[in-house]
Amino acid sequence: MRIGVLSDTHSRYRTVGAALEILSQRDIRLVLHCGDIEDAQTVALFESFDSHFVFGNCDWDKAELARAIEEIGGTLHDRFGLLEVGDVKIAWTHGEDKRLFRQLESGEHDFLFYGHSHAAEQHLTGSTLVVNPGALHRAKPKTFVILDTDRRNIESIVVDS
């Protein structure tokens, strides 16, 4: 299965739309968002996806975001999410809570995704591949990733905005 992983969209509708169009063209329906969504209009762009969100430090109106996520049939996981696809264990969070981050990278998961820094990177911590997909705002280039759970690999995608 292939999964889109985005972070730090910060209400950049055109860039988010471009990223989601790439996912649609590749027939990817499952999307994880690592926080800093910012508003309900951004959430609405994810309506045709099986979307899973966590909050970031810039997600001020959590009640508004929760309503919007419910309206599109998405799933809100609050501060972190856990998902198992086949035998692949996935965790994601925003990344500003360092204690939570250390707990999640403890080796229980195959992949840990996070945002917050707006800087794409990946590294191994034990057996966990820790990945920041980059950001769709205040990043050059603007990026997100696609996780292929069958091949257990990550593809970084640059979004032209």
3-state helix, strand, coil in the chain (%, to 5): 20, 30, 45
Domains of the chain: 2-158 (3.60.21.10)
Q: Which of 41, 28, 60, 122 is nearest to 16 (CA)?
A: 41
pLDDT at 106: 86
pLDDT at 114: 98
Sequence-ordered alpha helix ranges (H) in the chain: 13-25, 40-44, 62-71, 98-104
| Positions of the chain with pLDDT lower than 50, given as ranges | none
pTM, whole model, 2 decimals?
A: 0.97
The answer to whether the CB of 45 falls within 8 A of the CB of 16 is yes
Residue 84 identity (one-letter amino acid): E
The two tokens of residue 146 are 């696609």
The answer to whether the CB of 54 falls within 8 A of the CB of 47 is no
Reported as a single tens digit per residue, the pLDDT across 86-104 is: 999 999 999 999 999 999 9
pLDDT at 34: 98
pLDDT at 158: 98
What length is written for the chain?
161
As a whole number of angstroms, the distance between CA 78 and CA 122 comes to: 23
